[in-house]
């Protein structure tokens, strides 16, 4: 690739570079502006130039390159000028996990090749195990990792990460419904769920004593935010939430099934409803056609289970922020969300269930990136099960759980 023309100048005591991007350095096609610019720390201005004409543009504006020229809103331009602080050209390493990472990896690698960069992108299952082990061995850590609410608090506690956390996409919680069950969305609530179980003589697939699902009851009965200055679990809201779960247990509305068993029960039509994550939608769609989905019944409140990017202690926070901006390319986000049924704060996948996810987005709450939630996640099922089995009183159980998560 041809090298761009660079001029150095000073503005407000900050060292900026005027970088000239030539359309001749890129194949013909359509690009977002950010794809044509090397990694940067700070952008002062971006302009398209043609003779004496200069037009300011933004990072995500759509530019077409054709026959050695830029085209923007029907106008032809010969060059692009970028005034910015650029990042040093170093070897970088990014660790990815969860669904769809091959597409993220390919997109970053395509950009790197276009700009002659050395950004190593690795798929690392169970990042936390490997990262924590490496951090104890004084081995250089990757620059950037993907993380979730369940891992991040531990990284923070061990000083493995630094800087700002950048939420990227999220999964959420929905109800999968057998097609022969007719539900009026406006009257969709917990009473409706109970009536369906009674009318069909079929149970529901749910694990209401897991942190992931008991939290939807807690938030539905008024605990928003889920965690404030302290994680209170002995209040009336928690008692009301538990009493609904206890009623369902005593009435034999559900069995304690793991995720795979829940899926099998729903696909084989042994259960009427399945309360599960949106990430299963592509899998369920492959296994069966005669179902539909709904938001959680009122008053339950769903989670946004974010996957995020963060710098490790050995990384560069400016690089992490730039990477986050690159991956926020509207075209890539649309492609990624539509293909994997993932959600962004500013984009919901197209498809027949879009209205369900738009409704869910309006009320969903983020899973807290908080150590107390991690403790809650590890302990709530065991304690709630003892309470359901009458091995421990409601008051003692909730008091014990509250002590554990806040210690």
Q: Return the pLDDT at 12.
A: 35
pLDDT band per the 50, 70, 90 thresholds, residue 8:
very low
Count the alpha carbons within 13 Å of 106 in the hemisphere toward its beta carbon: 7
Same domain, 131 and 29: no
CA nearest neighbour of 183 among 202, 200, 196, 194: 196
CA nearest neighbour of 45 among 65, 68, 12, 17: 17
List residues bridging with 254 in a β-sheet. 204
Stated as kind and residue range, the H or E segment containing 304 is strand 303-312
Within-domain flag for 265: yes
Provide the 10 A C-beta neighbour count for residue 363: 16
Both structure tokens of 124: 């690392």
pLDDT band per the 50, 70, 90 thresholds, residue 15:
low
pLDDT tens digit sequence for 345-364: 999 999 999 999 999 999 99
Backbone φ and ψ of 110, nearest 5°:
-65, -45
């075209």: which residue's tokens? 331
Q: Specify the number of domains making up the chain.
A: 3
Q: Return the pLDDT at 1.
A: 43
* Residue-range definition of the domain harbouring residue 35: 5-86
List residues bridging with 209 in a β-sheet. none
Q: Return the pLDDT at 2.
A: 41
Within-domain flag for 66: yes
Same domain, 104 and 213: no
User: Pairing between strand 69-72 and 75-77?
Assistant: antiparallel
> Where does a domain end: 24, 53, 86?
86
pLDDT tens digit sequence for 36-66: 999 999 999 999 999 878 999 999 999 999 9
């Amino acid at each position: 690739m041809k090298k761009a023309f660079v001029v150095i100048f000073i503005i407000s005591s900050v060292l900026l570079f005027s970088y000239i991007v030539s359309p001749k350095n890129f194949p013909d096609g359509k690009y977002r502006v950010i794809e044509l610019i090397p990694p940067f720390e700070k952008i002062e201005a971006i302009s398209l130039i043609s003779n004496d004409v200069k037009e300011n543009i933004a990072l995500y504006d759509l530019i077409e390159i054709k026959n050695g020229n830029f085209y923007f809103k029907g106008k032809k331009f010969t060059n692009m000028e970028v005034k910015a602080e650029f990042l040093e050209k170093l070897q970088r390493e990014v660790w990815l996990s969860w669904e769809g990472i091959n597409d993220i990896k390919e997109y970053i690698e395509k950009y790197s090749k276009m700009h002659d960069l050395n950004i190593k992108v690795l798929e690392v299952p169970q990042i936390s195990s490997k990262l924590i082990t490496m951090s104890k061995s004084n081995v250089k850590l990757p620059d950037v990792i993907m993380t979730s609410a369940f891992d991040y608090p531990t990284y923070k506690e061990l000083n493995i990460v630094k800087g700002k956390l950048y939420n990227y996409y999220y999964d959420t919680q929905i109800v999968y419904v057998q097609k022969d069950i007719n539900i009026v969305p406006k009257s969709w609530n917990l009473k409706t769920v109970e009536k369906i179980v009674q009318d069909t003589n079929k149970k529901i697939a749910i694990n209401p004593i897991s942190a992931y699902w008991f939290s939807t009851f807690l938030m539905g009965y008024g605990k928003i935010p889920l965690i404030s200055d302290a994680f209170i679990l002995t209040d009336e809201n928690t008692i009301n939430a538990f009493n609904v779960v206890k009623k369902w247990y005593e009435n034999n509305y559900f069995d304690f099934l793991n995720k795979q068993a829940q899926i099998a029960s729903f696909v084989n039509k042994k259960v009427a409803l399945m309360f599960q994550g949106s990430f299963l939608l592509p899998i369920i769609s492959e296994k069966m056609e005669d179902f539909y989905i709904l938001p959680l019944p009122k008053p339950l409140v769903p989670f946004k289970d974010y996957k995020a990017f963060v710098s490790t202690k050995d990384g560069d926070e400016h690089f992490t922020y730039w990477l986050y901006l690159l991956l926020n390319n509207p075209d890539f986000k649309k492609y990624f969300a539509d293909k994997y049924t993932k959600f962004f704060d500013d984009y919901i996948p197209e498809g027949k269930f879009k209205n369900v996810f738009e409704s869910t987005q309006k009320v969903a709450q983020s899973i807290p990136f908080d150590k107390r939630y991690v403790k809650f996640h590890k302990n709530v099922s065991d304690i709630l099960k003892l309470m359901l089995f009458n091995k421990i009183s409601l008051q003692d159980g909730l008091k014990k759980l509250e002590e554990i998560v806040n210690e």
